[in-house]
Amino acid sequence: MQNKFSNGVWPTMITPFTEKNEVDYNALENMIEWYIKNEVDGLFAVCQSSEMFLLSLEERIKLASFVKKQAYGRVPVIASGHVSEGFDEQVRELNLMAETGVDAVVLILNRLVKPDESDDMLKENLERVLNQLPPSIPLGFYECPYPYKRRFSPELLKWCADTERFYFLKDTSCDVESIREKLKVISGSKMKLYNANSATLYETLKLGVAGYSGVMANFHPEIYVWLMRNWSEKPEEAKRVSNFLSVASLIERQVYPINAKYHQSLCGLNINCYSRVKDYNDFTETNKLEIRQLFELTRNFCTI
């Protein structure tokens, strides 16, 4: 199977909720159109930004199906497949997610082993998972930071790439040298690496990463799109853009994803700030002011 995943920007989608704590599909539809209007290259639905650990299996499946349907083939859609602890339940979740028709089902690395278990155990569990999934299902990987961050060793990543089952890797190492090593071992394979970190993005584009898949594409995806399309031909401007994105990304240390929802409301989306993972009462007036300031900075930066 040829890798149909475009190089470029893949937002880690947030999930809007209603006052009744249900998924707000009207807001989600508007959000999808906003991403596509800003010319993103793909959508990563059902991820940590989507609050997937606090979504029921039914909600995760419905969410992925909705995003895939609303994208209308305009951009590919991928989704994390499993959040459970038990192996059998994870396999069930993965197969159900595959049935939604998403373009790839993403494996969460830290779901496959406990923090103190070895790469040998991780490889063994990966083999078990692959044997339980139809070979026709395109797969990806996500080094999800929650509930603990499990990172790929170059050796295990090479083994995964050599299986020819995997097409997408969302890297959260935030480390240029780690990414350099990963790119070496997946070179020539079907797998593409997408950096989740804004500060290291520009340098890793020079090394060959396929794009950006991180939380800040929920704030100003159009700037990441510009960087992806112009970094090689306009290096001086790209460096300036990279510096802006790196500093702007510090805002994610605020009350995320509530702050991203607030920022999207400033962009004209009909979205509220309800969340399951964070308490809206923790989103202070000063936090809101900082987001409004970021919004103004982004608008001014885009007109320079």
232-260 residue pLDDT tens: 999 999 999 999 999 999 999 999 999 99
Give 10-53 as a 3 state SS string. Answer: CCECCCCECCCCCECHHHHHHHHHHHHHCCCCCEEECCCCCCHH
The pLDDT value recorded for residue 5 is 83
Please tell me the CATH code under which domain 8-233 is placed: 3.20.20.70
Residues in the chain: 304
Does residue 303 register a pLDDT over 80? Answer: no
Q: Assign 191 a pLDDT band (cuts: 50, 70, 90).
A: very high
The pLDDT value recorded for residue 2 is 44
What pTM was estimated for this model as a whole? 0.96
Number of H helices, E strands in the chain: 11, 8
Does residue 196 register a pLDDT over 60? Answer: yes
Does residue 304 register a pLDDT over 80? Answer: no
The domain locations on the chain are: 8-233
Mean pLDDT for 158-167 is 96
